[in-house]
Amino acid sequence: MMLIDNEWKKVVETGTARFSIMNLSSEKWGENFKKREDFRKGVSWHIPTQELVDAIKKYSPIVSVGCGFGYTEKLAEKEGADVILTDISPDIQNKWCISDKMEFPNGVLSMDAKAAIKSFKDRNVFMAWPPYNNPMAYEVVKAMKVGRYLVYVGESEGGCTGDDNFFNILSNKFSEVDDIYLPSWDGIYDNAKVYRKERR
């Protein structure tokens, strides 16, 4: 992983130090708007937890789509998960993830999410914070093979991730198999769930 020297570097490099992220942010969530802004643009849109790392490990081999900096995925990789990281824009053009602290890790494949699912169709899928009102998440669940699992991190229907088509497919063609504890920033309602694709 290519990282410039920064406050997150130690956290990434020593898997055990990861909970310092939580400590940094846990005092007064309500007053932490700027911290969330820095964190989502510079590290991750969701709050990484050991439970999420464990889920990635459990459902590995896995492909992550729209991975951004792939922070949680990298932690899982350190613990032995087999993860392929993909994003449509793992570079400075990325308008969702911009930071002078973090760089995209080496080895993120520059791929549209649908193409990634088709290329790695035998893997399960990790998708965190797919863009709001954008067909990416829908294309992913549509392209997934029956029997594959989706580890989804984001808001529920009507929230600010994915679109209506995504949630329609999720409720009609998938079953929920796991609900993973996920802390959220104040005013954000993301959760982490695992779904199995049951039918085309």
- The residue within the footprint of ligand SAM, chosen from 81, 83, 128, 194 (CB under 6 A), is 128
- The residue within the footprint of ligand SAM, chosen from 18, 36, 41, 46 (CB under 6 A), is 46
Nearest-angstrom CA–CA distance, 16 and 10? 10
Binding mask of the shown chain, residues 20 to 39, with x at each position contacting ligand SAM by CB under 6 A: --------------------
| Cβ burial 8-23 (10 Å sphere, 16+ → b, else e) | beebbeeeeebeebee
131 near ligand SAM, judged by CB under 6 A: yes
Helix (H) or strand (E) holding 177: strand 174-180
Candidates 18-26, 90-98, 99-107, 169-177: pick the segment binding ligand SAM (CB under 6 A).
90-98
66 near ligand SAM, judged by CB under 6 A: yes
Nearest-angstrom CA–CA distance, 130 and 132? 7
CB nearer ligand SAM, residue 96 or residue 198: 96
Which 3 state secondary structure label does DSSP give 7?
coil
Full DSSP string of 91-159: STT-SS---SS--PPTT-EE--HHHHHHHTTTSEEEEESPPBT-THHHHHHHHSPTT-EEEEEE--TTS
- The residue within the footprint of ligand SAM, chosen from 6, 20, 89, 165 (CB under 6 A), is 89
Binding mask of the shown chain, residues 102 to 121, with x at each position contacting ligand SAM by CB under 6 A: ----------xx--------
CB nearer ligand SAM, residue 36 or residue 148: 36
- The residue within the footprint of ligand SAM, chosen from 42, 48, 68, 105 (CB under 6 A), is 68
> Quick one: tokens of 125?
């899928």
Q: State the residues that interact with ligand SAM by CB under 6 A.
A: 44-46, 65-68, 87-89, 94, 96-97, 112-113, 128-129, 131, 136
